[in-house]
Amino acid sequence: MREIPAPPQSGLRSDPDATAAYRQPQAGAESARRWFWGLFVALLVLKLLVAARLPLFVDETFYWLEGQHLAPAYSDLPGLTAWLGRLGVSLGGNTELGLRLPFLVIAALVPWLVMRITAREYGDVHGWQAGCFALLLPLSGTLGLLALPDAAMALATLLCLDGGARLLRRVDAGAALELALGLSIGALSHYRFIAVIGVGLLALLLLADGRKLLRDARVWMAIAIGAAAWAPLVAWNLDNADAGLRFQLVDRHPWAFHADGILFIAVQALMVTPLLFAALAFACWRGHRSALPVSRYFALLGGLLVMGFFALGFFADTERVSFHWPLPGYLALLPLLPAAFAIWPRWLRVATWATAGLGLVLTLGYYTVVSIPDVRARTAAEKWYPSNFAGWDELAEAVRFNRAQMPAGTKLVAGSFKVGAELGFALGDAGIPVLDHPLNHKHGRAPQLRLWNLQAPGRADWGRQFGPSWNDAPVLLVTASSDVSYKDLLQRYHDLCRMVGPLPAPQVLNVDHGRQRFVLFRLDPSMPTAGACTAPAMAWIDSPASGATVGRSFDIAGWAFKDGVGLERVEVLLDGQPVADVKYGLDSPGVATYWKISNDPNQPRVGFGGRVDLGDIAPGRHWLGLRLHGADGSVETWSEQPINIR
């Protein structure tokens, strides 16, 4: 066997675990390399296929919109994500894959960087193994499938990690430049990268070699370059009353203790996979006890990041997705994983590899399921229904159809930033005005819409803001009733009335049995801009309950109303086909009590009930719905709920 070279000169050389791990027989490197290459190619091909079919997530389309309005920074993020999106559609076309292509390329660099860092510090075998774990870790293995900031943040984290490890060995210009590059990419990616910077600095301060390192002017030059990359974001906040900073650090977080933070452990164990999560924790513990400064540096950076986000979870935002926040911490721990993993029993190592692979397959499977319309429709009644991915293609087709039937010069207005961004991408229009909506503020997008002059005021002022051509132009207003919780929906309709006037008879688009529900209004310039609110109908089926098992003949009861004009008739539908007319106008005083602002002239006699006979309908799962006939001649199909027929 060829002679194994001496281990890298990184700090103290008296750590028996590190030295023994490095001097293991290198014959295993070839096998590990083949596994890495097989996993890398297979995963890249799968991601390309899924990314080409997966509907765009709402945030992706807003970053596309930002990319069509190039700027150094934006209200929700620094500029890099929008720039990458613009690059993607410029090179690959205005398609899902085109938008995501730069993010997939960046994500493909992540396992290679993990492998390179680990191989340099601990040997080739461990390098290839760590690269394999970077591919199998679900949070990093699926990077790039969505055009989100996380891919660039992961790359920035690893560049900083590698630069710091090299600097701990010897300060030179190359390592300092790598650190500066990582800090700059991170600063241009997300506010959240501040955590990586703060924890990285703390990790160096806790190490004797790190404190020595921080006395070198070249290191501070790298830090200064990284700090300068925050200038566009700082300038944007100075020009806009700190709106972005206030949203990220104040508005979106309750900053009050809530016990939900304890769920972090369960959620992370699930997202990382339980055995791999335990292995990373064990690697962190061993690395912290190591005599090698670089091992302690990896352990401190990774461990403090993960624990910091755990502590933050007791006080921070719980309404939006945050399970991906600790990924930079896991990436920092991956180089320590193979050596720690090697002392586990073989059966436990096999189980860890297997569960990590299964976790990646399930995560990719979720995105695959989301990309199949029929499967999405079948999950309409489930809590995990992917609403942010669903219905946008159908909505774009409905908008094209309506505009083709309306006069030339018809304008388009969206009810929220979600609708505006998704339609903007689908129609290739980056200038769709958006009405004020709670979601615009909740997601920090309202200031940016105002800067682009896309925040639409009340309808009476559209001509003043958008130009004289709007004064006499018909308008297609597109809203998503599923953008707000049901208890707030009537208030939203009344808010729309205040902005655009009494609403005409709507065209309702129910996607996936109405789980995604869009309402389109054709506004004629002759319509009044003020007056008593006329709104779309609202309804509820009290019995049978969603998911209930019923016979071929059953009773149905509920309520329905339509503000402004009232309803005249209620039909019962099964799988979209009428099966019964029920009596409408039953006394239902609780409805008026709950919906206090309702101005339906029939209140409180808005209940309905009757008997439904299905004849020889096939047993199994079916979808129960309503068709609501308004006194103004409007006909609206209500959302469906599943029932099981014996």
Question: Helix/strand/coil (H, E, C) string of 234-256?
Answer: HHHHHHCCCHHHHHHHHHCCCCC
Angstrom distance (rounded) from CA 71 to CA 87: 14
- Identify whether residues 490 and 570 lie together within a single domain: no
- pTM over 0.75, yes/no: yes
Residue 324 lies inside a defined structural domain of this protein: yes
pLDDT along the chain (646 residues), means of 10: 38 42 60 94 96 94 97 95 97 96 97 97 95 96 96 97 95 96 97 94 95 94 96 94 83 76 85 95 95 95 92 74 86 96 94 96 92 87 85 95 94 96 96 95 93 93 92 94 92 95 94 94 90 94 94 95 96 94 95 95 96 91 96 94 94
3-state secondary structure of 466: helix
* pLDDT score of 434: 97
d(CA 18, CA 335): 12
Structure tokens at 129: 């193994």
Cβ(190)–Cβ(78) under 8 Å? yes
Whether residue 536 contacts residue 588, with contact meaning beta carbons closer than 8 Å, is answered with: no
Strand partners, 571: 581, 627
Whether 490 and 565 share a structural domain: no
Written as one string, the DSSP assignment of 509-544 is EEETTTTEEEEEEEE-TTS-SSSS----EEEEEEES
Shared domain for 548 and 486, answered yes or no, is no
Taking the mean position of all CA atoms in its chain, how far away is CA 91? Answer: 24
Domain boundary among 511, 532, 553: 532
Residue 320, in any domain of the structure: yes
Q: Are 411 and 359 members of one domain?
A: no
Is the domain of 561 the same as that of 475? no
Task: Supply the DSSP symbol for 633.
Answer: S
Whether 496 and 360 share a structural domain = no
Assigned domain for 185 exists: yes
Domain annotation covers residue 606: yes
Q: Would residue 6 count as lying in a domain?
A: no
3 state DSSP class of 372: coil
Statement to judge: residues 578 and 509 lie in one domain: no
Q: Rounded to 5 degrees, what are φ and ψ at 124?
A: -65, -40
pLDDT at site 318:
65
Is the Cα torsion angle 47, 50, 53, 57 positive or negative in sign? negative
Dihedral sign for Cα 129, 133, 136, 142, please.
negative
In this structure, are strands 455-456 and 434-435 parallel, antiparallel, or unpaired? parallel
Residue 570 DSSP one-character state: E
Determine the angle formed by the axes of helices 150-169 and 96-122, rounding to 10 degrees: 20
- Report phi then psi at 416, rounded to 5: -155, 170
One domain, residues 548 and 439? no
Instruction: Give the pLDDT score at 320.
Output: 64
Considering the domain architecture, whether residues 191 and 62 belong to the same structural domain is answered as yes
- Structural domain total, the chain: 3
Give alpha helix (H) positions in 252-292: 263-272, 274-289
pLDDT at 255: 75
pLDDT at 388: 87
SS3 508: strand
Count the helix, strand and coil residues of the chain and give each as a percent rounded to the nearest 5. Answer: 55, 15, 30
Angle in degrees, CA 512, 515, 517, rounded to 5:
95
Distance CA 492, CA 256 (A): 28
* In-domain check, residue 373: no
Is residue 427 situated within a structural domain? yes
- 414 bridge partner residues: 434, 478
Domain boundary residue among 491, 516, 532?
532
Positive or negative torsion for Cα 11, 15, 17, 23: positive
For 490, the domain range is: 390-532
Helix (H, G, I), strand (E, B) or coil at 574: strand
Question: CB-hemisphere CA count at 13 Å for 595?
Answer: 28
> What tokens were used for 454?
């896309």
Residue 12's pLDDT is: 37
| 469 and 570 co-located in one domain | no
283: in domain:
yes
**What is the DSSP track for 15-61?**
-HHHHHHHTS-TTHHHHHHHHHHHHHHHHHHHHHHHHHHSPPPHHHH
- Alpha carbon distance 167, 170 (integer Å): 5
Q: Among 480, 505, 532, give the residue marking a domain's end.
A: 532
- Do 126 and 217 lie in one domain? The reply is yes
Same domain for 291 and 414: no
CATH number at residue 617: 2.60.40.650
458 DSSP assignment:
-
Q: Is residue 12 exposed (0-12), middle (13-18) or buried (19+ Cβ within 10 Å)?
A: exposed
**Residue found by looking up tokens 């008593």 in the block:** 532
- E strand or H helix at 461: none
Instruction: Read off the amino acid at residue 461.
Output: D
Give 581's strand partners: 571
Alpha helices by DSSP H, 54-172: 58-68, 80-92, 96-122, 124-136, 138-141, 150-169
- Rounded distance, CA 567 to CA 561, Å? 6
